[in-house]
């Protein structure tokens, strides 16, 4: 699209944001090979203030990419390894008796940070997963009747392995709906695999995170996030999003469609994608770019279609093709 990088008619200055995104991509590109779409979607989610579920087989750089992204931003980072014996208090924190004052004090858990990596989120049982409901949606936790607010930015990056089912607990729909995106991370191609081997050889045992530099400060990130609100969305594009989501609710192949939270997720993500493309207005292509990662974890196929091997991605594709694109 010819407008993609035109900047002269923008009402808002997106040059700094665009450059910041480019710098993060360059830093991550030193280590992460062949996952450009994955990295781009992570950056869109970061700007759109959303959480991300990352799904892929072991060894495709899910965890390391999330870790390195945190390294490029000058902000707090915390990692929680989910295990079957993990309790809600291990994440949120707990009240501890202070022997000096004989009063209970709240000791904050690892969730009190900015970028939170939850590794293998489906390894912990339902009660531990449920502990994340409030904090993911409302950016706060309530403990012993007291509300504790999270400091922005606050973003949960959760990974899961789709293959291994033993000892795992499927995420409930209410929790899946709180993730802006579900990103499916695949294998690299043969040329990318060669590049991975070469960069690994050239590092000579140096840890990947030590080669990554911080490129963006917390205050700059806050400023760029505020710019996303200024991105224009025409009424006809809002109607287009509404049509796409409404179609998921009465589609013969789907048992569960997208909620209004899904519509808002498409809107916010499309605005962030427009901004990193250097535009202060959304075009239909922005919506098409984000609709699959926004919807793939929110839709549930009918049992018959699932048995036939149909995927939610395929149904989303069918819906996108069936709705007329506004021009």
- Tell me the two tokens of residue 26: 């360059």
For 36, 50, 58, 256, the CA distances from 186, given in Å and listed in that order, are 12, 22, 10, 26
Do 32 and 12 reside in the same domain of the chain?
Answer: yes
User: How does pLDDT run across 30-73, given as a tens digit for each residue?
Assistant: 899 989 999 999 999 999 999 999 999 888 889 899 999 999 99
Number of domains in the chain: 2
Copy the structure tokens of residue 194.
């060669």
For the cut 60, the answer to whether the pLDDT of residue 17 exceeds it is yes
The better pLDDT of the pair 266, 102 is held by 266
For the chain, what is the mean pLDDT?
A: 91
Residues 199 and 323 in one domain: no
> Quick one: angle between helices 312-322 and 284-295, nearest 10?
150
Q: Say if residue 273 is in the same domain as residue 212.
A: no
Task: Give this prediction's pTM.
Answer: 0.91
CA 52 to CA 155: how far, in whole Å? 8
Q: How far is C-alpha 221 from the geometric centre of its chain's CA atoms?
A: 16
CATH at residue 268? 1.10.8.80
291/245 Cα distance (integer angstroms): 9
Q: Please report, for residues 25, 29, 211, 218, 233, the alpha-carbon distance to residue 208 in angstroms, rounded to integers and kept in the order given.
A: 15, 11, 6, 22, 40
Do 263 and 217 reside in the same domain of the chain?
Answer: no
Residue 2 in tokens: 């010819």
Does 265 lie in the same domain as 223? no
Q: DSSP code of 322? A: H
125 has a pLDDT exceeding 60: yes
Domain of residue 258 covers 231-327
The CA radius of gyration of the chain, in Å to the nearest whole number, is 21
Q: Clarify whether residues 152 and 189 are in a common domain.
A: yes
Q: Are residues 120 and 56 in the same domain?
A: yes
């Amino acid at each position: 699209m010819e407008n993609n990088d035109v900047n002269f008619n923008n009402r808002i200055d997106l040059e700094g944001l665009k450059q910041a995104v480019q710098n993060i991509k360059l830093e991550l590109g030193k280590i992460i090979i062949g996952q450009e779409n994955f990295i781009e979607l992570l950056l869109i989610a970061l700007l759109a203030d959303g959480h991300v579920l990352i799904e892929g087989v072991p060894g495709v750089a899910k965890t390391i990419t999330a870790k390195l992204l945190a390294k490029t931003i000058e902000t707090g980072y915390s990692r929680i390894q989910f295990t079957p014996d993990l309790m809600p208090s291990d994440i949120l924190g707990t009240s501890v008796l202070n022997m000096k004052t004989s009063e209970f004090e709240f000791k904050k858990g690892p969730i009190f940070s900015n970028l939170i990596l939850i590794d293998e989120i489906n390894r912990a049982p339902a009660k531990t997963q449920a502990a994340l409901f409030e904090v993911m949606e409302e950016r706060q936790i309530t403990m012993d009747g007291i509300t504790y607010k999270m400091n922005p930015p606050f973003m949960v990056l959760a990974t899961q392995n789709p293959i291994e089912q033993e000892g795992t607990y499927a995420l409930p729909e209410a929790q899946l709906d709180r993730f802006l995106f579900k990103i499916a991370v695949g294998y690299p191609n043969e040329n990318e695999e060669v590049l991975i081997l070469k960069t690994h050889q050239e590092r000579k045992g140096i840890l990947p995170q030590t080669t990554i530099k911080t490129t963006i400060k917390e205050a700059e990130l806050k400023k760029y996030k505020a710019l996303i609100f200024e991105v224009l969305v025409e009424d006809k594009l809002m109607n287009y999003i509404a049509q796409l989501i409404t179609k998921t609710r009465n589609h013969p192949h789907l048992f569960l469609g997208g909620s209004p939270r899904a519509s808002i997720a498409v809107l916010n993500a499309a605005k962030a994608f427009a901004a990193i493309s250097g535009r202060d207005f959304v075009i239909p292509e922005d919506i098409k770019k984000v609709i699959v990662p926004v919807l793939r974890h929110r839709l549930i196929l009918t049992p018959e279609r699932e048995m036939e091997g149909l995927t939610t991605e395929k149904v989303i594709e069918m819906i996108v093709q069936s709705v007329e694109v506004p021009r």
